[in-house]
Structure 1
Amino acid sequence: MAETHERIFYEVMWRSWTAKGDSPSPVPWWLQQAFHRWTDSFDAGSFESKEGALASNALYRYWSMVGVKDHRQESLVGQAGEIEPVYDKYSVAFLLYEPSSGALRLPQLPGPGGSVEQRMEAAHLPVVETVFRTGTGFEVTQRTLATTVGVRQRDLVLNRLSVTAGADAPRDGWLCVAVLPAGPSGFQRHYRGAAQDTDRRLTLLRYLPQEARVVTNTGWGPVFDRAPEQYGVYGNPDFSQDPGSYLVRSPFHELTVGGKLNGADEATDQVAGMCTGVFAWPFRLEEGESFSLDVRLPVDTYSGADDLAELRSAPADDLEAANREFWTRKLTQEGVQPRLPAPVAHLADLFRQTRGQLLVLSDSGQIHPGPTVYDSFWIRDSSVEATACSLAGDTALARAQLGTHHRGAFNFGRGRIGPCAEYGFFGGQHEKDDQEWDSNGQALWALGRFDRTQGPGAAFGAGLYNPYILGGARWLRDNRDQYGLLHSGWSAEHLGERDKPHYWDDIWGLAGLYEAARLAERLGTPEVGELWWAFDDMKRATAASMRWVLDEQSRRGEWETFLPTGPGDVGRLDSTMIGAAAYFHPCRLHMGSKLGDDIDRAARFTLDTLYGHFVRGGYRHEAAWNAYGPYLTLQLAHACLLAGDPQRMDDLLGWTVGAGTPVARGQRAALGAWNEQHAFPIASDFAEFPDRFWYMGDMPHGWAAAEYLLLVRDILFFEADEDRDPHLYIAPGVRPHWVPDGETVSVSDAPTLFGAPFGYRLTHDTAARTVTVDIDQSPPHLRYVYPCRFGPVRTATAGGRTLDVTGADVQVPPGTRRFSVRYA
């Protein structure tokens, strides 16, 4: 049954949407999508009612994000420029009022001749620019950024608004800032089983004219650099439960009907929590002139006159310049810098942007997979994210995540977690509650890979070996079922039911045990034999189970070869089997056919089956999410790259890049970020609408950002067989259409698993049908493989010597600094 505030919110928003031009109000983009194609179907397992699901924004979780590196709280930016500091009880939006016509101009409803555009500054900096053209000659530009101020470097969002007038624009107008209860993420995130709701209700709204700032409930709201000349706040003074009263007691209604605001400085609403305020700055412009306003949103905790003075202490121009300098240096001068030709230059911009997203999503070095519902720590997500950060050059963040927060998640208790021992388990409350048995393998894998990247001089693994790595490996050895597999559990939620075992867990367990045993070898510890025994025992059990499943499916007449999500799912050919992609990426069990040649072949056939059944541009995960999976698509793309299928990789990558900037009904829904799930309606611009509810996670999704960084890095180069025959693949995923004549692909100062940086330049001469590679940096004594993607190799030379060619692979000996390949 819907709660009162959910019912009123639903009715007010629906009536506001249907009124549109008659009584316009700023209905957010996500609500417009829901009302455009309404469905009564909702997830009754998560929500009490359809109104509760709507208020929680369960279907259209798209937005952009700004934030400060390593600070706790991010702020969201909606499609019309609405700003929502995630843990504060309000959002902010801008609008225009034209006194001469009495018209209210809302970016949420641009109207005839109007438009709204958004972009990231310089295509990759975490500054969101929103441009609203009214269709009557006015243009409003909003730049939104997060930065710090004062000696304590506390957070704020700086919102910079500027209005210009064209030749035909009215001279007079009001630039308005609205304080609203609903933001890009929703109104109230309230669902069954939640330990804590995200409640955005505004029960008190107060304006303090002497300080030019707003109070929302018990916290600080926006602070204006100049006081408004007109203002009004609106609530529900008589405790009405009639949704219609909210439409009349509204600043938008009063501006439209009477051209004024009520001048009240305090309002309450103890019924629905939907207090609203509008603050206005009249202006008079000639053609080409502009009017500007700066609004500061305090994100950290501020209180008292001294804090207010500190919040205002730095000029807005200085704050913006310092923010731009910091992020430009961090993203374009530090860390890995891929340089790509014009046809794919956007991939390099997106590489920098996703790096920035992970830096913003880190809280004092603890990387979180999202800014709202996933703003907490998971071993699984953070293992992949930390590894991506380390290989992208953000080493300090990776060291803090793995050396501090992973270590802090190691359990020393002597109790039980379901069927397993507590001691030695890597995991916090998430992992314990859902029995996520993949986490130990992921932690050991990430710790071992980072130790490799840092090199022996850093002694990173030595500092964590005992008790953390050794204890985590022994946990994997001792906590398995009667078949030698990890127990049933939920692990990654895309795998299916929690009452069944999943090969995903065992694949990760093997990757983790392999890294633990190799680290023990590098350190020369006495447990080397013990750890290899644990790896071999788990390998035997996993391979035997997979062989049994494959044989049973063959016996039943299955003509396609595939590994299902687990041994309890024999013959289950659905999208949960995407977990098998981890065999290739990130776990790389195919290198050296670690489970045997027959399992390796079956895993490769599984990629074919996955692609044939579930790829329609991207990976469709209808079995669990009823939505596309952006990070699953990137995982599959990466698996295809490592399995030697760069064409499928390129196709999947192209779809995923487009999914980061979807357009729905003519409006950009996001700017280079991915949800955990990408809704079918948005992916198809409402050409496809499911007949049942779907699931939507957070945005931007840190795991998806990490997968993109890892994929682009491995497209440029990746390591192979690092423990027996160390070599490196150069440009294995660079496609011919990426590199026009005379163009160059390059990367420099890139960390490697060999503990030393790598860099090269690849140049293409189309007339001569020649590719030339210059190796600028390289770990010592390393051989290379260049898989030529431009055409069959005719000759390959280095320093006057002919190089061996195996199929399309040019074999390049250690010490080579330049080689050339001529193709047919």
Structure 2
Amino acid sequence: MSYVSKRLAHAAQMWGRDVDEFVKSAVNSFGNNMFIMGLYYRRPNRAWPRWLREQLSPGGRGFEPAQLMPFRNLHFKDWGIVGSVYGINEAIVDPSMLFVTRRNVAFEVWIHDGSRLYTPGSHGSFRQYLERPGYPIIINEWDLDSVKVVARSTVASRSSVDVLVVDLELSGLPGNYTVYLATRPYNADHFVEVSNVMIERDGWFMVINNELALTTDREPTQFGSYNVEVDASEDAVLGRLNGSLQVTDELGWAHAALGFNAVINEGKWRLRIKAPIDPLRNTPHNRYLVKSIADSDIQSSLRDWDTINDREFSVLIGGSAIGDIVRQSIAHLTMLWDGGKITPGPLIYHLFWVRDGSYMATALTMANLQDMGRAVVEEILRRVDPSGYFKAVDFEVKEYDANGQVLWAVGKYVQLTGDYELLRRWYPVIRRGIEWLEANREFAGDESVRGLLPPSWSAEDTGPMDHHYWDDMWAIAGLRELGKVLREIGHEDSQWVERLRDEYVDALINSINVVRSRLGIDYIVPAPERVADSAMTRVIAVAWPTMALPLDNPLVRRTLEVTEQLYGFGDGVVNVHQWGTYGSYLTMNLAHSWALLGDRSRVGRYLNWAVSHTTPTYGWAEGLSIITGGGGQGDVPHGWAAAEFIMLIRNLIINDFLGSPTLLRGMPIELLRRGLTARNIPTIYGLVKEVSSIIKGNELMINYEGPGHRVENKYEVLIDTPLRPMSISCSDCEYEVLSNGMVRVLHSGKFSLRVLGD
């Protein structure tokens, strides 16, 4: 490509991209932004998404100069999702009354009071919340002072098709109103291209690109179809639509609207909207299917959710939302679980990543949903290529953390379930992944890279193609966890796997020491080619989750300290060079790392940040805007973030990664003073039925029911008490205070303990 500069070509190489695709992506993105900018300047009074107005208005919370291209959602990714237990897709429900059923299928509600048109992008205030955590029911309230709109969104399933059901209520001052449902050429994240829309009069369906978009339980009194020349809102402001049944727009701005007469006397005016979440062609059979969705289908879907909530890991902490966030995080993972394939997001991340999938599979298993965790692990194992490399994602990119993550997920699944027969069945595929790790190391070059994995794009936000330590840390973690389960069954490969792990550890330590000497530092940088940068928010994985180096190695603590000194801001950690936002799961990873080291104060600080930065429906975007505190990067609810929160809370209650099951390691004292109860906790020692704990005054009380580490005919459990024991009383157990201050308990399956502190 002769018109491509040398710098651009080199940039593509640094980032591991094909030059042609790199240029194509950049040009098309720029062209789309300039198109939206020009259209906005010419038609500012149209119905635009609220996130765009907030980013372009000088008084908006997310104001960005237009030259910085704020033409996708940069600061307001706070939406919730609804979906079924067994479905493939999810519907997005934005706090500002935008409903998205597929990437290019979205609709808004507008209100005309006879003299003025109200659109969510420009008018009113909003409130969004869950009807009940753990269930796919979201309530939206839109307050326009004289009138209020309430939408209850949930999901129904019939014939393996998921349908978004929105029950709309209009209340307020008596009068005659018009309620408009308008499809939009944008979703909650970005603008889209819609080439064709039509109004199907058989059942009054709105149809986008020959797929059913929505229908209602009332017949409209107005309808219209529009292109880029005239927006439906420009007619709706006059109280009437153009009556056109179909339009095609080569610029991708095709949209349509339905209008309904709404009379408010003493009661409320209601409308039910049914919008297929799964793509359905416009056929008589499919129209009948959607029309026939009834309350019984909604109830059937909710009963599926009952079965999840009845058996999952749960926690209750007095006066805290943490328990509800855990429950909803499990619900988010369940919605993002597509029968094995699992995606870290419902919209732009509705793809499969080995990295996110490994976290999410392990969290599902730890949440007592082992069947779902197993299905994800089996999907991961299917992604091995002929060389033994596990393809990291659904597009071509080099991410060499994948193989280690696969082995880690397999190892944790087998440890938590004890299913060694499944390990034997999986092992031929697993062995190919181990062989790949053995063969694909650097055997030449600078001393700082020898024995490491080759340069890769790694975890995407770590920067250019370098020898990222993140990849090697995951290789160590995967080989270690797999080695444990192979040793348990006396497998002949266990020593080979453990020897390979040791070689990776030696290579990592050697490289770190060479780089430390070269740079004169006492911490770990992201890669031998780098100095300290915000990819250090990944290097904290040396503690959690990889534990690639012993936790008592001074480098581990010092690396955590330097990371928070350089990239900690307002009790979150910031990825500077790639996202320019807080990292949701990065901050939780740091909290988890400090928990392993027993620093309750730091854990409490970062945990409070995570809790205070959830969306109204208890999720997180991948990155959170420093300007608004809302979602600013990636998708939401992000599956990795949900998984990390589940594992963090579980491990604060009982941690089985540390040799013996350890209660309350890193648990903030303020949470213990509130009192906590957790149930249905799978561990590598078996299912713990219940743990409860509270601090009253200077007394810690613990009740425990479940197994522990087997010691002869007893179970061993360690308690990391935040109080210095002065006296201890124990029912149904024996105890001793260890030199490190922990209390060692031997019991027969159930005990109660009281620790009186000084």
- Relative to the length of structure 1, the TM-score reads 0.82
Select 2:388's aligned residue among 414, 424, 432: 424
Select 1:564's aligned residue among 525, 533, 536: 525
Answer whether contact 2:84 2:301 (CA < 8 A) is retained: no
Select 1:78's aligned residue among 94, 115, 123: 94
Select 2:193's aligned residue among 173, 178, 201: 201
Q: Where does residue 117 of structure 1 map in the other structure?
A: 127
1:546 Cα deviation after fit? 1.8
Answer whether contact 2:313 2:367 (CA < 8 A) is retained: yes
Answer whether contact 2:584 2:624 (CA < 8 A) is retained: yes
Paired residues for 1:125-164 under 5 Å: 125-136=135-146, 138-149=147-158, 152-164=159-171
Select 2:452's aligned residue among 485, 501, 507: 485
Q: Where does residue 12 of structure 2 map in the other structure?
A: none
Evaluate the alpha carbon distance shift between residue 299 and residue 720 of structure 1 in structure 2; reply closer, same or farther with a 3 A threshold: closer
How many angstroms apart in 1 are the aligned matches of 2:382 and 2:528?
A: 33
How many angstroms apart in 2 are the aligned matches of 1:226 and 1:8?
A: 37
Is residue 2:623 matched to residue 1:658?
A: no
Moved more, 89-98 or 31-40: 31-40
1:510 Cα deviation after fit? 0.9
* Amino acid in the other structure paired with 1:95: W
1:38 Cα deviation after fit? 3.0
Is residue 2:162 matched to residue 1:183?
A: no
How many angstroms apart in 1 are the aligned matches of 2:344 and 2:630?
A: 26
1:13-71 CA distance string (max 9 Å, x none): 34554x4xxxx6353324432444233555xxxxxxx4xx72x5466544222222342
How many angstroms apart in 1 are the aligned matches of 2:400 and 2:622?
A: 21
How many angstroms apart in 2 are the aligned matches of 1:701 and 1:392?
A: 17
Evaluate the alpha carbon distance shift between residue 712 and residue 801 of structure 1 in structure 2; reply closer, same or farther with a 3 A threshold: closer
Select 1:38's aligned residue among 64, 68, 71: 64
Evaluate the alpha carbon distance shift between residue 510 and residue 124 of structure 1 in structure 2; reply closer, same or farther with a 3 A threshold: same
Q: Where does residue 707 of structure 1 map in the other structure?
A: 644
Select 2:688's aligned residue among 754, 758, 777: 758
Is residue 2:717 matched to residue 1:788?
A: no
1:303 Cα deviation after fit? 4.2
1:82-127 CA distance string (max 9 Å, x none): 111224x33111121112xx111223322xxx42211122244322
How many angstroms apart in 1 are the aligned matches of 2:275 and 2:599?
A: 48
| Structure 1 gap segments, 5+ residues each | 43-49, 188-199, 237-245, 413-422, 662-669, 686-694
1:715-772 CA distance string (max 9 Å, x none): 11101444xxxx11112233232244xx642222211123x101333343625x3222
Identity of aligned residues (%): 22
Q: Where does residue 390 of structure 1 map in the other structure?
A: 365
SS of 1:435's equivalent?
Answer: coil
Q: Where does residue 307 of structure 1 map in the other structure?
A: 286
Evaluate the alpha carbon distance shift between residue 618 and residue 765 of structure 1 in structure 2; reply closer, same or farther with a 3 A threshold: closer
SS of 1:360's equivalent?
Answer: helix
Q: Where does residue 468 of structure 1 map in the other structure?
A: 429
1:449-495 CA distance string (max 9 Å, x none): 11111115x52211112x22222222212210021111111111232
Paired residues for 1:2-17 under 5 Å: 7-17=34-44
Select 1:582's aligned residue among 536, 541, 547: 541
SS of 2:381's equivalent?
Answer: helix
Evaluate the alpha carbon distance shift between residue 142 and residue 547 of structure 1 in structure 2; reply closer, same or farther with a 3 A threshold: same
Q: Where does residue 381 of structure 2 map in the other structure?
A: 407
Is residue 2:355 matched to residue 1:380?
A: yes
Evaluate the alpha carbon distance shift between residue 655 and residue 58 of structure 1 in structure 2; reply closer, same or farther with a 3 A threshold: closer
How many angstroms apart in 1 are the aligned matches of 2:65 and 2:261?
A: 42
Select 1:773's aligned residue among 702, 711, 718: 702
Answer whether contact 1:78 1:183 (CA < 8 A) is retained: no
Q: Where does residue 728 of structure 1 map in the other structure?
A: 661
Paired residues for 1:423-822 under 5 Å: 423-427=387-391, 433-456=396-419, 459-465=421-427, 467-482=428-443, 483-498=450-465, 500-554=466-520, 558=521, 561-569=522-530, 572-590=531-549, 600-616=553-569, 617-661=571-615, 671-683=617-629, 696-722=633-659, 727-740=660-673, 744-754=675-685, 756-764=686-694, 766-767=696-697, 769-779=698-708, 781=710, 782-789=715-722, 791-799=723-731, 803-815=736-748, 817-822=751-756
How many angstroms apart in 1 are the aligned matches of 2:754 and 2:404?
A: 41
1:6 Cα deviation after fit? 5.4
Evaluate the alpha carbon distance shift between residue 351 and residue 30 of structure 1 in structure 2; reply closer, same or farther with a 3 A threshold: farther
Q: Where does residue 447 of structure 2 map in the other structure?
A: none
Q: Where does residue 291 of structure 1 map in the other structure?
A: 269
Paired residues for 1:205-354 under 5 Å: 205-235=197-227, 246=229, 249-256=230-237, 258-270=238-250, 272-287=251-266, 289-300=267-278, 301-315=280-294, 317-331=295-309, 333-342=310-319, 344=320, 346-354=321-329
SS of 2:181's equivalent?
Answer: strand
How many angstroms apart in 1 are the aligned matches of 2:425 and 2:754?
A: 44
Evaluate the alpha carbon distance shift between residue 14 and residue 79 of structure 1 in structure 2; reply closer, same or farther with a 3 A threshold: farther
* Amino acid in the other structure paired with 2:233: F
How many angstroms apart in 2 are the aligned matches of 1:254 and 1:644?
A: 62
* Amino acid in the other structure paired with 1:408: R
* Amino acid in the other structure paired with 1:493: E
Paired residues for 1:48-87 under 5 Å: 50=69, 54=71, 56-57=72-73, 61-87=77-103
How many angstroms apart in 1 are the aligned matches of 2:669 and 2:432?
A: 48
SS of 1:803's equivalent?
Answer: strand
SS of 1:294's equivalent?
Answer: strand
Moved more, 727-736 or 290-299: 727-736
| Superposed CA RMSD | 2.4
1:154 Cα deviation after fit? 0.9
Is residue 2:51 matched to residue 1:29?
A: yes
* Amino acid in the other structure paired with 2:756: R
Answer whether contact 1:451 1:459 (CA < 8 A) is retained: no
